[in-house]
């Protein structure tokens, strides 16, 4: 019955996604990495699913997103695509495919779109990625930008912390719009600054740890649903504790089987 919830909705498109900002409507984005996760996010009616390279952290148990490969992104995006009827699907370009220059980035983006049939890719970086993003967009591949904290630059940036270089963040968001990005993730930026840059551009800003002045928000599926047995990052409002719920269910199952009650 729940699965019918999104059956009435049309498939979200890149122009439709942009239009929601013009209509003053907030955009909802959640990550997903597999069929059941994407099914839940899609049936809940989210505007978009990000197949994030954060799968390194929450699925693979790694400390950084750096080891994720194009093949892994494609593998996860294919599972997501089989589940989705409504949401726009955006796939992260894994390190270092967005950093190797326009030609290599276009090759990787085209491969991702061809093999997954997703709608768009996301490339980390702002001003310094302008040429790359312009090349990929001109080839007909929609690009979501990503500025503020850049997880693929963790070695350079040191740790997950609020980014305070006001002029750089403004330059990055303006550059991403000029390069043709259809939206931009704004990660770990002070809410006042995120709200200010959101007013400066016509493309939607999708915040994470950037406050309600953005045009929408993206959260990591496992963080918002509480899959871990450790507290989520500070900026996350956790809406469930799946770890606790699943643990109780598994303990009940174990007791039942051990007691011959099956």
Q: Which residues bind ligand KIV (CB under 6 A)?
A: 31, 50, 52-54, 92, 185, 187, 208, 218, 220
Active site residue 251: no
Strands 216-219 and 27-31: parallel
The CB-of-55 to ligand KIV minimum distance in angstroms stands at 7
User: Least distance (Å) from ligand KIV to the CB of residue 199?
Assistant: 21
Least Å from the CB of residue 62 to ligand KIV: 12
Residue closer to ligand KIV by CB (options 106, 208) is: 208
Q: How far is the CB of 89 from ligand KIV (least distance, A)?
A: 13
In this structure, the number of other CB atoms found within 10 A of the CB of residue 29 comes to 26
Q: Compute CA distances 231 → 82, 186, 189, whole Å.
A: 31, 22, 21
- Helix boundaries (H) for 89-153: 102-116, 130-138
Radius of gyration of the chain (CA): 19
Nearer to ligand KIV, 173 or 253 (CB): 173
Residue 200 structure tokens: 């400066």
For ligand KIV, the closer of residues 137 and 218 by Cβ is 218
Minimal distance in Å, beta carbon 124 to ligand KIV? 7
Nearer to ligand KIV, 38 or 138 (CB): 38
Cα–Cα distances (Å) from 4 to 28, 39, 42, 259, in that order, read: 19, 12, 11, 39
Q: Is the peptide bond before 46 cis (omega within 30 degrees of 0)?
A: no
Beta carbon nearer to ligand KIV, 52 or 98: 52
Q: Which of 71, 187, 192, 251 is catalytic?
A: 187
CB 51 within 8 A of CB 90: yes
Closer to ligand KIV at the Cβ: 2 or 63? 63
Please give the full DSSP string across 189-201, using - where no structure is assigned. B-HHHHHHHHHH-
Residues 79/82/87/89 CA torsion (nearest 10 deg) = 50
Give CA separation, 127 vs 91, 247, 251, in Å. 21, 45, 51
Nearest CA among 47, 117, 44 for reference residue 80:
117
Report, in Å, the least distance between residue 95 CB and ligand KIV: 11
Nearest residue to ligand KIV, scored by beta-carbon proximity: 52
Catalytic residue numbers, as ranges: 187
């Amino acid at each position: 019955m729940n699965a019918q919830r999104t059956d009435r909705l049309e498939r979200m498109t890149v122009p439709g996604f942009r239009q929601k900002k013009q209509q003053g409507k907030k955009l909802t984005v959640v990550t997903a990495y597999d069929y059941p996760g994407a099914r839940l996010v899609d049936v809940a009616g989210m505007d978009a699913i990000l197949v994030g390279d954060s799968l390194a952290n929450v699925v693979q148990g790694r400390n950084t997103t750096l080891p994720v490969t194009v093949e892994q992104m494609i593998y996860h995006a294919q599972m997501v695509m089989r589940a989705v009827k409504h949401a726009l699907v955006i796939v992260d370009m894994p390190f270092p495919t967005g950093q190797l220059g326009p030609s290599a980035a276009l090759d990787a983006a085209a491969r991702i779109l061809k093999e997954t049939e997703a709608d768009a890719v996301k490339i980390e970086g702002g001003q310094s990625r302008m040429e790359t993003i312009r090349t990929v967009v001109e080839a007909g591949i929609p690009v979501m930008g990503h500025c503020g904290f850049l997880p693929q630059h963790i070695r350079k940036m040191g740790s997950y912390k609020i980014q305070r270089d006001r002029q750089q963040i403004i330059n990055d968001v303006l550059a991403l719009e000029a390069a043709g990005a259809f939206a931009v993730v704004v990660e770990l930026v002070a809410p006042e600054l995120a709200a200010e840059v959101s007013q400066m551009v016509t493309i939607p800003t999708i915040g994470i740890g950037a406050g309600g002045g953005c045009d929408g928000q993206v959260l990591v599926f496992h963080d918002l649903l509480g899959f871990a047995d450790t507290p989520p990052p500070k900026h996350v409002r956790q809406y469930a504790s799946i770890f606790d719920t699943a643990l109780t269910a598994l303990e009940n199952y174990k007791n039942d089987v051990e007691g011959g009650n099956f």
